[in-house]
Amino acid sequence: MAEQIIFQTEDKDGSIEVKDVDNVRSLYFGSFAQQSAMSLQNPDQLHLAYTKAMMSWLLFEEIKDDDVLLIGLGGGSLAKYLLQKFSDCRVEAVEYRAAVAEIAHDYFDLPKQERLNMVIDDGARYVKERANLQHELYRIIILDAFDSNGIAEALCNPEFFAACKKMLKKEGILVINLWNTNEQFTQLFSWLGRLFEAKLLFLPVHGMVNVIGLFFHENTPIYSRKALQKRAIQLEKTYRLPFKQFLKDLIAYNPNFIDYTISSS
């Protein structure tokens, strides 16, 4: 199928395009990098491998009537998935570009409903202001805020991540989409490693430059490997995502950090 431009616009931060090709609708921010994608045949499923990997936190935490903070909306794939799969979950999504939020609703089937609180604001400012007033709000915070070059510059500072940690519940996890080819990666690794006292795991996304970082509050337990293996089997049946492979990769790729989060038994 030939590429078809479905919608394009431009705001003060650059161009935004929605394209269809081979029954896949994609979002672009002025570069080759695919910001979000949705299967037109299966619009309710996560399509990109990195968005599937970002759900690997389910190995460690359950979501019921919790609030999840999502910083960076894109096409709304993760927000939509959370709303559909967890009927009591509430999603607070912070998106800097109002046009992106409109596109997610109009072209990527992101529903408008009471359990979705859409905030148009700078993610760094929003998080820092909230953290000054309220702590321990979210069990899960998901950061997927990219421009055409990498993680938005305003978010790349230790003060922002410290504010995120303040807003995590004691058993909470910060989930970040990283690019391992970007010069930010080493600096982010250094900041976050110190902030979370080495309670972290990295999950490479096979065939892509994405690496998903899971950063655990120091009050989270040491998880039993056997219990996680059993949980991975059940999660895979329920959500049809490769949780068994996620767990294998987390163990294989984190030899220096695994003992801070997962026991050997």
Q: Kindly write down the DSSP assignment for every residue of 197-231, as one continuous string.
A: TT-EEEEE-TTSSEEEEEEE-TTSPPBPHHHHHHH
**In CATH, what number is assigned to the domain containing residue 209?**
3.40.50.150
Residue 18 lies in a domain: no
Residue 21 lies in a domain: no
Task: Please tell me the total count of domains within the chain.
Answer: 1
144 as an active site residue: the answer is: yes
In terms of C-beta density within 10 A (0-12 exposed, 13-18 middle, 19 or more buried), how is residue 200 classed?
buried
pLDDT in tens, the chain (265 residues): 679 999 999 999 899 999 999 999 999 998 888 899 999 999 999 999 999 999 999 999 998 888 999 999 999 999 999 999 999 999 999 999 999 999 999 999 999 999 999 999 999 999 999 999 889 899 999 999 866 566 777 788 899 999 999 999 999 999 999 887 667 778 888 889 999 999 999 999 999 989 999 999 988 999 999 999 999 999 999 999 999 999 999 999 999 999 999 999 9
Are residues 117 and 90 in contact, defined by beta-carbon separation less than 8 angstroms? yes
Residue 97 lies in a domain: yes
Residue 239 lies in a domain: yes
Residue 35 lies in a domain: no
Are residues 70 and 91 in contact, defined by beta-carbon separation less than 8 angstroms? yes
Are residues 77 and 108 in contact, defined by beta-carbon separation less than 8 angstroms? yes
Give the phi and the psi of residue 7 in degrees, each rounded to 5: -160, 145
Q: Which domain holds residue 72?
A: 44-260
Strands 168-179 and 138-143: parallel
How far CA 134 is from CA of 69, 118, 174, in Å, comes to 14, 19, 17
Residue 134 lies in a domain: yes
Q: Which of 20, 66, 144, 249 is catalytic?
A: 144
Are residues 118 and 69 in contact, defined by beta-carbon separation less than 8 angstroms? no
Enumerate residues 6+ apart whose C-beta is below 8 A from 248.
Answer: none
In terms of C-beta density within 10 A (0-12 exposed, 13-18 middle, 19 or more buried), how is residue 35 classed?
buried
Residue 38 lies in a domain: no
Residue type, 123: G
Residue 137 lies in a domain: yes
What is the pTM assigned to this prediction?
0.95
